[in-house]
Each structure stands twice: as structure tokens, then as C-alpha cells.
Amino acid sequence: MASILRTSRTRPVWSALARARFSSTAPKNTTLKERLAELIPIELENVKRVRAEHGKKAFGPVIVDQLYGGMRGLPALIWDGSVLDADEGIRFRGKTIPECQELLPKAPGGEEPLPEGLFWLLVTGEIPTQEQVTELSKDWAARSAIPEFVEEILDRCPPTLHPMSQFSLAVTALNHNSAFAKAYQDGVSKKEYWGPTFEDSMDLIAKLPNIAGRIYRNVFGQGKLPAIDPAKDYSHNLATLLGFGDNHAFVELMRLYITIHSDHEGGNVSAHTGKLVGSALSDPFLAFAASLNGLAGPLHGLANQEVLTWLTKMQAKIGANASNEAVKEYVWATLKGGQVVPGYGHAVLRKTDPRYTAQREFALKHLPDDPLFKLVGQIYNIVPDILLEAGKAKNPWPNVDAHSGVLLTHYGMTQMQFYTVLFGVSRAFGVASQLIWDRALGAPLERPKSYSTQAIEKMFKDKA
Ligand SMILES: CC(C)(COP(=O)(O)OP(=O)(O)OC[C@H]1O[C@@H](n2cnc3c(N)ncnc32)[C@H](O)[C@@H]1OP(=O)(O)O)[C@@H](O)C(=O)NCCC(=O)NCCS
């Protein structure tokens, strides 16, 4: 939405207009939907102006390697909620993770930002008031129930079906009650698309704790699912549904976890998939279920599960408190076996992921003596040099997934197959906020051009 220009590699420069509209605190006494209704016409004008001024200008060269190379660096998408800088990491509407931790409202007695505030920020670019965040918590609690038939779908899944597959099934099934799908069938005008998309997006986010909680308890046998408490914030309710609501530190971890995993600009697999599927006017449930299927891949969100599996195998092989030499040998064995070191490397980042750093700081505060945390620190001192020496990975530094599982394990959530579900709960915040804007701005069907190798050869032969 807001135009972010980059003069250097690090600092985003906001246009005066964008600054005036999107970098301040939210006006009081307005709901998120009311505020959106005010911002949409302004942004429609803004996009119209940007397209009129720059629409026909080239945005950079495309080289053939990008077509074969997973489209790295190809400018191809509009994504307003966040921008990723290779060195600095993510900014949500221009704000770094530490800035979000400082500026976003907190729960009484809490120090971590409430994801409700992050969602408001992603959607509007503004920092909401404490009251606005509390209203969002209440609104999501009121929308949180899932239809009985979705509960039954989950209860019928064999416990051997991966939690991510169950998650995706349940989210797909929520499309049964989609306000957007119904409005479309009823002939809603294009100009009104964003309203039912907003309602679906709010429902989607609101219902995820009940889905995640049910999967966790069904698969790992943790007893009956408690009810959502409308007086509690989203993360507190999620923690309660998972069975950790009495643990203040775990609740705080959920607040941080959901905030930092929410969005990572638009080109990553889950974000882009959601946008792509949404561009066919599939409703937010269908679009986000597709995101989840991408997140379930080991090179993307499943890496948080992979990291724990890898660490556990390492400990089984070389024991706890292993020497640096033993760890090095294990890392080399992983690489020589043709496998990746999970939790390291990134398609865009070229420095340590600030999401990793935020989790490390949380661990230093809450669990400094945890043996697995110490192992993660030991690995941090070893892996980058080895990846550099191996000479293939463009980024030898850790990403978000290198740390998250260790924190969850510390509090007793040891079932690593579940970790990506938590990532998915969070990722809904970023995907949903962009889907709302895509419908508001009338984003068209995505349909890039593909080429065969033969066509590429012919094109250059003809030009020669
Ligand atoms: C994230 C990831 C998929 C990015 O892929 P990418 O953009 O293609 O990364 P690169 O350009 O650096 O890859 C170049 C080569 O280095 C390898 N490489 C990258 N990261 C590596 C890692 N952590 N361990 C071993 N090898 C790695 C790639 O597999 C690739 O090998 P190839 O030429 O034989 O195909 C990759 O770094 C990876 O697989 N990391 C481990 C999984 C992970 O943590 N995923 C979560 C990401 S948030």
C-alpha cells in the first residue's frame, strides 16, 4: 500500500504522503474495518498516481538464470505489509522487530507485543491503541468457534496424518461459510469485494486457535479442548487451547512467536501462494489453505520441525555437552550426506535473521541455562564457517527456524511435528492482510508468462 522507496540497501524512505497516512498511531475511537474504509479510497488514488507516473517504466533487467533459478530477485509482486532487506531483515510497515516490540500494545503484565496490534499495523500501517487491540481480542474470541463438521473432519483424521495436512484440510473446509464466496454468488460489485474478504480474514485468524488446539490434542492425546475466554488475548487463548495457558512465559512466547512469524514480504512460498490463489478470487480460506500446503515443505516452514529432528539426532549420536570437534564432524556428515543444515541459509537474507535474534534474546531472558539452547548457541559458532568453507550456500547464517523449536521444547511442547502449525497460525496474519488489500485495490488474476527451454534458445538464435 504505502510506497517504500529504497535509496540505500538498508533504510526504507517513506514518501511524505505515505508517512502522513501510515507511520503514525491510529486515530482513536475507530474500529479496524472503519479505519480501512477510510484508507482504501486514499490508497486507490495513490496507486493510480504511481501507475500514471511510473507505470510504463522498466523496473530492472530479467536474466534467463532467474527463470531457471526460482525467480530470485525478480521484481514481480506488490506486497505492502512488510519489506525484507537482505542485510537488515524484515520491517513490518517500516518497523523493525525491536521497534514493534517497543511500540505495539502489550497485555497487562506482559512485555511482548500483542499480535492483535501487529495485525492492525500490517493492515493500516498504524500503531493501534490499547483499547483497539483489546477490541480485536474480543472480536476474534467471538468469532473463534469452528463448525461442528470441521471438528468432525479433524476428529476423523488418523493421528498419523501430519498436523499440517490436517490444518490445511480444516482451513479448506471453512470455505463452507465464506462471506466472500457467498457475496460473489450473490453478485457483489467489485468495489465491495474487500468487505466480505475482511470478514473472512477476521474469521480465519479467529478460528485458527481452535483448529490448532484440536489437532494438537487429537494427535498428541492432551485431553479435552477448553473454551476460548473472551477476556483473554489471542495468544493467551491459543496457549490455553494447547494446554500451556497457565505458563506466563509460554504465553509471552506465543505473543512474540506470532508477531515475528506473521509476514516476510510477498515472495516466500506461503505468502506468494496465498496471493496467487486469492487472485483467482478464491476466498481467504481456500487461499490460505494453499499457503499452508507450501509452508508444510521442508525448505520453508517445516524447517522448524527439521531443526529439532536434526538436533535430537545429533544429541543421540554425539551426546549432550559434545565438544566443538564432535559438532563440526556431525555438521560435515550432514553436508556430505547430501542434506541441508536445517535452519541455516535463506533465499533473500544475507545476515543473521532478526527473527532468530529476537528468539535468542527471549531465551537469554527466560531459559539461559537450557541445554538445547546452549547447543543452538554452540552450533551458531560453528555452522556459518562450515557452510562458507563448503562454498555453496549464499547465506551461511541462521534463519527463524533455527531457534523456534528449542523454545517450544523448553516449555514442554516436545512434539516437533506440530511446530509448523504454529508458524501457520502466525502466517495467516500476513497473508490475510494482503488479501484484504488485494481485493480493495482490485488486484488482477496473476498470470505471468512461462517459456520452454526450446523457446528461450530460439529467441536468442533469432536475435543473433
Ligand atoms: C532456505 C533455502 C531453501 C534457500 O535456498 P536458496 O535460495 O536456493 O539458497 P542458496 O542460493 O544459498 O543455495 C545454493 C546452494 O547452497 C545450498 N545450501 C543453501 N543453504 C544450505 C544449508 N543450510 N545447508 C546446506 N546447503 C545449503 C543449496 O542447497 C544450494 O545447493 P545446490 O547448488 O546443490 O542446489 C536454503 O538455504 C536451505 O535449504 N536451508 C535449509 C532449510 C531451511 O532452513 N529453510 C527455512 C528457510 S526460512
Nearest to 149 by CA among 123, 173, 117: 173
Phi, psi at 350, each rounded to 5°: -130, 10
Q: What angle do CA 209, 311, 70 make, to 5 degrees?
A: 70
Strands 89-92 and 82-85, by their bridges, are antiparallel
Phi, psi at 91, each rounded to 5°: -125, 130
**Once rounded to an integer, what is the mean pLDDT over residues 79-97?**
97
Structure confidence at residue 18 as a pLDDT band (50, 70, 90): low
Structure confidence at residue 464 as a pLDDT band (50, 70, 90): confident
Instruction: Tell me if 17 CB under 6 Å of ligand 1.
Output: no
Is domain 128-447 classified as CATH 3.20.20.70? no
246 is catalytic: no
Structure confidence at residue 220 as a pLDDT band (50, 70, 90): very high
Nearest to 258 by CA among 134, 362, 116, 137: 116
Counting residues of the chain whose pLDDT is more than 90, the rounded percentage is: 92
**Which tens digits make up the pLDDT trace of 382-398?**
999 999 999 999 999 99
Instruction: Tell me if 270 CB under 6 Å of ligand 1.
Output: no
**Which tens digits make up the pLDDT trace of 415-462?**
999 999 999 999 999 999 999 999 999 999 999 999 999 999 999 998
Q: Which cell goes with 193?
A: 469485494
Q: With contact defined as beta carbons under 8 Å apart, do 126 and 22 qualify?
A: yes
pLDDT at position 462 is 87
346 is catalytic: yes
pLDDT at position 180 is 98
**Once rounded to an integer, what is the mean pLDDT over residues 282-296?**
98
pLDDT at position 21 is 53
**Which tens digits make up the pLDDT trace of 38-64?**
999 999 999 999 999 999 999 889 999
Domain parsing of the chain, residue ranges? 5-127, 128-447
Residue 14 has pLDDT above 90, yes or no: no
Q: What is the Å distance from ligand 1's center to 339 Cα?
A: 10
**Once rounded to an integer, what is the mean pLDDT over residues 100-113?**
97
Residue 182 has pLDDT above 60, yes or no: yes
Q: Would 5-127 and 128-447 be classified into the same CATH topology?
A: yes
264 is catalytic: no
Higher pLDDT, 464 or 386: 386
For ligand 1, atom 6, name the residue with the nearest CA.
Answer: 347
Instruction: Tell me if 237 CB under 6 Å of ligand 1.
Output: no
pLDDT at position 10 is 38
Strands 82-85 and 4-6, by their bridges, are unpaired
Residue 20 has pLDDT above 60, yes or no: no
Catalytic residue among 162, 264, 272, 300, which? 300
Instruction: Tell me if 68 CB under 6 Å of ligand 1.
Output: no
Counting residues of the chain whose pLDDT is more than 70, the rounded percentage is: 95
Is domain 5-127 classified as CATH 1.10.580.10? yes
Supply the mean pLDDT for the chain. 94
Nearest to 194 by CA among 446, 442, 445: 442
For ligand 1, atom 7, name the residue with the nearest CA.
Answer: 347
Residue 61, number of CB atoms within 10 A of its CB: 6
Of the ranges 116-125, 215-224, 227-236, 344-353, which one carries the lowest mean pLDDT score? 215-224
Q: What is the Å distance from ligand 1's center to 394 Cα?
A: 8
Residue 328, number of CB atoms within 10 A of its CB: 16
pLDDT at position 17 is 44
pTM above 0.85?
A: yes
pLDDT at position 22 is 54
Higher pLDDT, 219 or 17: 219
Which residues 6+ apart lie within 8 Å of 39 measured at CB? 1, 21, 124
Instruction: Tell me if 342 CB under 6 Å of ligand 1.
Output: yes
DSSP assignment of 292-303 equals HHHHTSTTTTTH
Residue 23 has pLDDT above 90, yes or no: no
Residues in the chain: 464
Instruction: Tell me if 125 CB under 6 Å of ligand 1.
Output: no
Structure confidence at residue 135 as a pLDDT band (50, 70, 90): very high
Q: With contact defined as beta carbons under 8 Å apart, do 264 and 423 qualify?
A: no
Please tell me whether residue 43 adopts helix, strand or coil conformation.
helix
Q: b or e along 342-381 (b: 16 or more beta carbons within 10 Å of the residue's beta carbon)?
A: bbbbbbbbeebbbbbbbbbebbeebbeeeebbbbbeebbe
